[in-house]
Amino acid sequence: MPSDKSTPDPKIIRMLREYRASLIAREDEQVKRLAAQWIDIENSLLDEMQLLALQIIEAKESGKAITEQLIMRMDRYQRLNAQMKSRILEFTKETAAPDIESEQREYGGAAIDIANDVIRSQFRLAPAFDTLPLEHVETYVGLLGNGAPLNTLLKEAYPDSLDGVIKALLEGTAKGLNPGQIATNAAKGLGMGLERITLIARTEQLRVNRLVSADQYRRSGLQGVMKRVATKDDRVCMACLVSDGEIIPLDQELDDHPRGRCCAIFQIKGVKEIEWQKGPDWFNKQSDDMQKSMMGEDKWEAWKAGKFKLSDLRQNSYSDIWGQSPRVPSLKELLGGNFVVESKKKKLSNNIEEMKKRLSKRFDFPENKIILTDKEGYKFDVGDLHTQSGAVFDPNTGTITVFDIQDYEDKEDLLAEILAHEVSHSKFIPFLGEITNEEMLVLAETDGYTDYSKAYWKLVDPSSPTARFYLLRAVDETLAEIARRETIDYLKPLKLSDEWKDLFRRVHGREYK
């Protein structure tokens, strides 16, 4: 918990924080509502999951290697997948989207009220100023920040759920759990879709709140600037904390990441400056243990050694969906590339190092760009959505980091699968601007390979402003999986269409085997 070595906030900042706390209370109630109805989906699919688990166990007992591809070919999986997709898409359309739109209206209306209170509190006798009509909030309801319909993004709950279920099936079978236990865990894995939905809900509701607040400040006719007010607790994003007090011109917007908790206060020109203890000062007064838990031990030690400043912890990232948002750079970025992820538990075995050399040559990928670590899998996506990856390609540094490397001891074929997938991502980057939407839509009409890749295609709405983002994602993921499948000896070669063979040839510089 934070220490009490902090300066009390002025009344206007306390008012803003109390207002923010009331929004968080609304979010909590919303999560409970959505979760209560989501449980109905889990319960309705439990029997099918148990039957699928039984089929998987029978396959294992007959001597078959249990893989993601084997599960996807099972008839029970096909039935479960169809039911799961139908129920989840129905939930996003009939339950989640209306609930989020209703909350967007509430958040927008509340934003007008609190913005007016912020303005009045800076005067002994507030001047007359214009107030936004409540109907203005409708400008933002039901839309994402990029102008796309809300349900465009909510549909991502389906592939997220699919990933969670398959992971639970594979792990449960590997651990020797019984069908009932495996099915129960798979139902929990389904909950990754609900995590996605609640992430979108909070992000889009707070976005409306921020936009309407800024619109009201502008509508007032008063001159001034906005200032970022960051939350100060042990869960705050360090990029936001060190940006506390950041000045934002009135004609711009406050950038925040998904599930961000920052808000903006209006500093009116010509009135007393609003002062409060800024994030860096607050952080410097916390205990060493608290600082380490917030920053991470490696970063904390480098910061204490004077290798970077607190202000360096703020960088920006951009997403076609979320727009620009603050992000915390990696230690490697902070140190100018002079940092390599190393295992703190044990030195990597010679066997794994030899595997790395062989695979580097096999995939024609620089050995010094393959980073092996026994740290836990990379948590991808932003916010609090905890999705793990066995490996990740970083386009900024051109490196592939493989996590949990101890799991690959004497499993070169498995490590080859992982690397083939990520190397494909690296090869696709030069084609991001070259491949046309029309070409990708043709690819979508041909057989890619499995339902897993098709889940990405289902997200594509060609008329949407986000169409290219999803098309590129679908092509990239499909190609990467084709490359991974190519390394698996016991699987038959995929029957790719001529269009896919041609794209594979262009990206990988060789024929598909």
Query: 30 with 179, same domain?
Result: yes
Amino acid at the residue 139: T
Report the predicted TM-score, pTM, of the whole model to 2 decimal places.
0.62
Residue 126 falls inside a structural domain: yes
Percent of the chain exceeding pLDDT 90 equals 26
The average pLDDT across 484-507 equals 78
Whether the Cβ atoms of residue 209 and residue 27 lie closer than 8 Å to each other: no
The per-residue pLDDT for range 438-493, each reduced to its tens digit, is 888 777 776 544 444 454 555 566 666 556 766 777 788 788 888 887 887 655 66
Query: 55 with 199, same domain?
Result: yes
| Residue 263 backbone phi and psi in degrees, to 5 | -140, 170
When pLDDT is cut at 50, 70 and 90, the band that residue 350 belongs to is: low
Domain end among 189, 223, 257:
223
Please report the pLDDT score of residue 428 as a whole number: 87
Number of domains composing the chain: 2
Residue 433 falls inside a structural domain: yes
Residue 208 falls inside a structural domain: yes
When pLDDT is cut at 50, 70 and 90, the band that residue 73 belongs to is: confident
Note down the domain range covering 426: 350-508
Residue 423 falls inside a structural domain: yes
Mention every residue, 6+ apart, whose C-beta is less than 8 A from residue 195: 160, 384, 385, 386
Mention every residue, 6+ apart, whose C-beta is less than 8 A from residue 387: 160, 163, 192, 379, 380, 381
The per-residue pLDDT for range 79-99, each reduced to its tens digit, is 998 999 999 999 999 999 999
Residue 488 falls inside a structural domain: yes
Amino acid at the residue 277: Q
Domain end among 201, 223, 245:
223
When pLDDT is cut at 50, 70 and 90, the band that residue 340 belongs to is: very low
Rounded distance between C-alpha atoms, residue 110 and residue 212, angstroms: 9
The per-residue pLDDT for range 116-139, each reduced to its tens digit, is 999 998 987 777 888 888 888 888
Residue 245 falls inside a structural domain: no
Query: 53 with 188, same domain?
Result: yes
Mean pLDDT of the chain: 82
Please report the pLDDT score of residue 451 as a whole number: 42
Domain end among 223, 255, 277:
223
Residue 383 falls inside a structural domain: yes
- Look at 487 and 268; give whichever has higher pLDDT: 268
Nearest to 14 by CA among 114, 127, 126: 114
Residue 180 pLDDT > 70: yes
Residue 104 falls inside a structural domain: yes
Residue 222 pLDDT > 70: yes
Please report the pLDDT score of residue 382 as a whole number: 31
